[in-house]
Amino acid sequence: MPYHKNKQQAFEAAQQGTMEAKEWYDHLVKSDADYGSQLHHLKQEVNEAFEQINNALEVASEKQRKQLEQFRHDLQEIVEEVNMYE
């Protein structure tokens, strides 16, 4: 596979992972009976997204790097928000 394709795929995986984590966070309801289960799943999604971002950063272009740093920042905000309620 060409190098640039790997770079694009790594970026897209990080982007997708971040979007999925945000989606889980948006649907997290503290009053739900299964809140603990939802929270556990959210944490898994966030951890996977951080891994995907780190992998993508290894091969990212400068433009992608800025976006990946924004994804990382967004995820960090989710982590901080969730930790305030625990």
Q: What pLDDT, in 10s, does the model give residues 29-86?
A: 888 889 999 999 999 999 999 999 999 999 999 999 999 999 999 999 999 998 887 6
Dihedral angle over CA of 58, 61, 79, 33, nearest 10:
-100
pTM for this prediction: 0.88
Give Dmax over CA atoms of the chain in angstroms: 48
| Res 4: pLDDT | 60
Identity of the residue numbered 49:
A
| Res 31: pLDDT | 84
Instruction: Report residue 1's pLDDT band, with 50, 70 and 90 as the boundaries.
Output: very low
